Amino acid sequence: MAGPLSHIRVLDLSRIMAGPWAGQILADLGADVIKVERPGAGDDTRSWGPPFLKDRDGNETRDAGYFLAVNRGKRSITLDLDKLEGQAVVRALAAQSDIVLENFKVGTLAKFGLDYDSLKAVNDRLIYCSVTGFGQTGPKRDLAAYDFMIQAMGGLMSVTGEPDGKPGGGPEKVGVPIVDIMSGMYAAIAVLGALARRSQTGKGDYVDIAMLDVQVGFLANQAMNYLISGKPPRRTGNAHPNIQPQDVFACRDGHVVLVVGNDGQFGAFCEAIGRPAWIADERFARNGGRVRNIAVLRPLIAEIFATRDMAEWIALLEPAGVPCGPINTVPMALDDPQVKHRGMRVDIPHPVAGSVPQIASPMRFREAGLSFERAPPLLGQHTDEILRELGLDGPADTAIPAGA
């Protein structure tokens, strides 16, 4: 496979979302990612449907869309880690790998002799990354965690949703498993950082990624607002807490998102909508004033937007350099000419379905272009192939590598 990591092998012992997302990022970058799954069942997300992928005859397969979203580019081997034979194969794979990803509960893999210290003994250049809900230390280290739960605990839901007292008011989770995704991204960044360091020192490393740490880490401006003001951030719906006007406005036939990012853009906006007097109005001339007086400014803007259709406003504001856009559905977003031009949808040959649609990686390289040739694997699809590479002929639950 192509890509800047085509010389790297990853042993992916993870399942669900965060760890597999990291593994898919590395696979997209060209790494050979070997996904270890439970015999007969596989990754939990294979069954997290409907919807399920359909085969060439229109019958449902066993693979849900959830699984297909995070396992592109990998090879699947089924191993029973409760058995010595399965553990021996993992150690043999670790000896030939650069990176290990896992998201078992703290201490679980140590019982099987597959923790970092054990695998470091067979490969001291190994970069081993554990992704858990709360990390390897602390009072909650032994607890299980899921994305929804961490969005709540980490403060995200306290700043997401409409304010209390408004229609639909109350805390909301983000519409995608954002903590899982961000944890996977941080894991991928961390192992690549360790890989760069290894090129200088020759030594591997252990990486501890906690989902709660990640969630608190990407509170970003909301956390900093609190730290410097002492005031807890509150839910403001679609309105930005620090920059205005940034909100959703109703048009005659739908809604437009207006994203004025600075005073110059606000001036251009005022000219475009025929309200040049607002530019000199001391309440609105500077962003700080607009934030403080948004209760006055927003109704004025809303009244104006209600007079035209979405397309009319976008056609008026875009040429003026005012950031704005429609609220697209997922099908509309995928049909956007810019999204199509960038090739964000790809179709990959699949042994059962004929082909499987995928959302491509957003990474673009001039010198080491990415390719998407390997579909999310069938359960155990590559077991025999991988065992042969290890010099083994028997099934995974009976084959023990020499010296293991």
Q: Is 180 a catalytic residue?
A: yes
Strand, coil or helix: what is 383? helix
Catalytic residue among 115, 180, 213, 247: 180
Nearest-angstrom CA–CA distance, 191 and 22: 9
End-to-end CA distance of the chain: 30
Give dist(CA 122, CA 76) in Å, integer: 22
Classified as helix, coil or strand, 348 is strand
Q: Do the Cβ atoms of 257 and 248 come closer than 8 Å?
A: yes
Please report how many Cα atoms fall inside a 13 Å half-sphere around the Cα of residue 51, on the Cβ side.
7
Angle of helix 310-317 versus helix 263-272 axis, rounded to 10 = 120
Q: Give CA–CA dist 125/59, Å, rounded.
A: 45
Sheet holding 246-250, edge to edge: 246-250, 255-259, 324-326
Question: CA-to-CA distance for 397 and 248, rounded, in angstroms?
Answer: 57
Sign of CA dihedral 136, 140, 144, 146: negative
Contact 102, 131 (CB under 8 A): yes
Of 232, 235, 242, the C-alpha closest to 163 is 235
Residue 248 contacts residue 328 (beta carbons within 8 Å):
no
On the CB side of 330, CA atoms within 13 Å amount to 4
Distance in angstroms (rounded) separating the CA atoms of residues 135 and 147: 14
What value, to the nearest 5°, has the Cα angle with vertex 398 and ends 394 and 403? Answer: 90
Please state, in angstroms and rounded to a whole number, the distance separating the CA atoms of residues 86 and 400: 8
Q: Give the catalytic positions in this structure.
A: 180
